Amino acid sequence: MIEFVMPKAVKTDVLYDVIILGAGPAGLTAAIYASRSLLKTLVIDSAPAGGLASTTEVIENYPGFPNGVTGPQLMAAFRQQAEKFQAEIIEMIPINSVNLSGREKIVTTDLGTFRSKAIIIASGRRYKEIGVKGEDEYKGKGVSYCATCDAPLFRGKDVVVVGGGSSGIQETLRLLKFVNSVVLVGFPPHQTAGPALLARIKEQKNITLLLHHRLLEIYGERTVRGVKIEDLETGEVRDIRVDGVFIFASLTPNSELFEEIEKDRNGFILAEDRTLKTNLPGVYVAGDVRSKILRQIATAVGDGALAAHAVKQYLHELEKEKTDNS
């Protein structure tokens, strides 16, 4: 059983100016801007701080790093900067419920209940289960959704990767440093990954690309031993012996907790473009969980800065309203 320890700076008996739900690029940027504006800021993440960006092997399209930067390095710098301005960050703490409709926002966690005047939702996305036979049975027994987390466990082994978008290719490049070989399944005819990533993956010697295929089944004996793959053009089903399956087929927003918030049909949170405010007063959204056309670290950073600025303005209006009524 995991024992959670309350960080020294974090208290449940205070009213924060803003609580930020999520410690990825958007959440940490919002924390930098909010805390630097002297707002009492708390960041809560049920996962490790850094978000999906911290699991990326090399980031080449974030400005300021002409030779690229690793995800863990970049996110560590984001966190250090937020904490420099006295933002309080707690991670790996399950968030059980939220109540965002009142003047005070309530966030209930395994550590206790926290209150704030405003909320920024920056909960990001996660890799989605694809629902094939054997996926649930062998989860943690050869089925993984994180190359950065689990690649060393498959050193010298043969694996299948499902998903040919940018995230899937980046994770595959991470895997290739450890595994014997990779079969990349579901590489779409119309590529969604950038040309630079595509060129790099095609240069690798120990990778097989199965274009226009889909995963039908994962099977094994206590752990994964193989998969069944269907060719979508011919209908042929192939049996491939592998030791692991990494699934990076699609991403889904972490928005289920926010029942009162308006979302699009895919579950992404809707917000006003100018301020990133949601349909609830004092509640803002930033990063990959927001409904928008591009989800990158650069856009998440912009969202985080804008949401924090909007919160500052909102709190100023609250104070002005309080003064006018007194």
pLDDT tens digits, 204-226: 889 998 888 999 999 999 999 99
303 is catalytic: no
Distance CA 193, CA 184 (A): 14
> pLDDT grade, residue 25 (50/70/90)?
very high
Q: Would you say residue 250 has pLDDT above 50?
A: yes
Q: What is the largest CA-CA distance in the chain?
A: 76
Q: What is the mean pLDDT of residues 152-156?
A: 93
Give the integer Cα–Cα distance in Å for 325 and 258.
32
- pLDDT for residue 1: 36
For 281-304, what is the mean pLDDT?
A: 96
Choosing from 17, 45, 110, 149, the catalytic residue is 149
Q: Tokens standing for 71?
A: 């995800």
How many CA within 13 A on the CB side of residue 252? 11
- Give residues with Cβ within 8 angstroms of 285, minimum separation 6: 120, 121, 122, 261, 269, 271, 276, 278, 303, 307
**Residue that wins the pLDDT comparison between 290 and 6:** 290
* pLDDT, greater one: 43 or 60: 43
Instruction: Identify the CA nearest to 282 among candidates 261, 267, 301.
Output: 261
Name the DSSP letter for residue 255: -
pLDDT at 52 over 70: yes
Tokens of 15: 């009213």
User: Residues spanned by CATH 3.50.50.60 within the chain?
Assistant: 15-126+251-325, 129-247
Sign of CA dihedral 75, 78, 81, 82: negative
The residues, ordered by sequence, that sit 6+ positions from 64 with a Cβ below 8 Å of its Cβ are none
Q: What is the pLDDT of residue 5?
A: 44
**Tally of CA atoms within 13 A in the half-sphere of 21 that contains its CB:** 33
Q: Calculate ∠ Cα 187-189-191, nearest 5°.
A: 70
- pLDDT of 7 > 80? The answer is no
pLDDT, average across residues 180-201:
74
Please state the CATH superfamily assignment of the domain spanning residues 15-126+251-325 in this structure. Answer: FAD/NAD(P)-binding domain (3.50.50.60)
pLDDT tier for residue 13 given thresholds of 50, 70 and 90: confident
Q: What is the pTM of this model?
A: 0.80
Q: CATH top-level class for 129-247?
A: alpha beta
pLDDT for position 37: 97
**Rounded percentage of the chain residues whose pLDDT exceeds 70:** 94
**What mean pLDDT is predicted for residues 234-246?**
95
Does 243 qualify as catalytic in the annotation? Answer: no
pLDDT at res. 186 = 80
Cα gap 235→57, rounded to integer Å: 35
With a cut of 70, say whether residue 285 has pLDDT above it: yes
Burial 85-97 (b: 16+ CB within 10 A, else e): bebbbbeebebee
pLDDT at position 8 is 54
Reported as a pLDDT band with limits 50, 70 and 90, residue 150 is: confident
- 217 vs 52, more confident: 217
Q: Write out the E strands in 104-222.
A: 105-109, 112-121, 125-127, 143-144, 158-162, 181-187, 207-211, 213-221
Q: How would you classify the pairing of strands 15-21 and 41-45?
A: parallel
Mean pLDDT of the residues in the chain: 90
- Determine which one of 150, 243, 288, 303 is catalytic: 150
Instruction: Reply yes or no on whether the pLDDT at 9 is more than 60.
Output: no
Task: Indicate the pairing of strand 125-127 with strand 112-121.
Answer: unpaired
pLDDT at 79 over 50: yes
Is the model's pLDDT at 19 over the cut of 70? yes
What pLDDT is attached to residue 187? 62
What integer pLDDT is reported at residue 3 of this predicted model? 41
Tokens linked to 305? 């800065």
Q: Is the pLDDT of residue 2 over 70?
A: no
